[in-house]
């Protein structure tokens, strides 16, 4: 584990207290949206590759 990740994990309790529930809720929504966008992109890449493969034989 790299030191930055370890520091964030160790300080997570303090970060949660400092950020507050509204900010944490916003961060959860933003990361959820990012995850959905990545999933859609992977799906579209797969569909595009499949259609390209069908056309080329």
* Angle subtended by helix axes 12-56 and 3-10, to nearest 10: 130
pLDDT tens-place string over residues 6-43? 998 999 999 999 999 999 999 999 999 999 999 999 99
Residue 54 reports pLDDT greater than 90: yes
Instruction: Give the pLDDT score at 1.
Output: 72
For the chain, the domains span 3-56
Instruction: Give the pLDDT score at 19.
Output: 93
Instruction: Give the pLDDT score at 57.
Output: 74
Residues 6+ apart with CB under 8 A from 24: 16
% of the chain exceeding 90 in pLDDT: 91
């Amino acid at each position: 584990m790299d030191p930055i990740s370890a520091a964030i994990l160790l300080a997570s309790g303090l970060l949660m207290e400092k950020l507050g529930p509204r900010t944490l809720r916003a961060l959860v929504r933003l990361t959820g949206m990012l995850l959905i966008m990545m999933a859609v992109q992977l799906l579209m890449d797969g569909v595009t590759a499949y259609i390209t493969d069908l056309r080329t034989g």
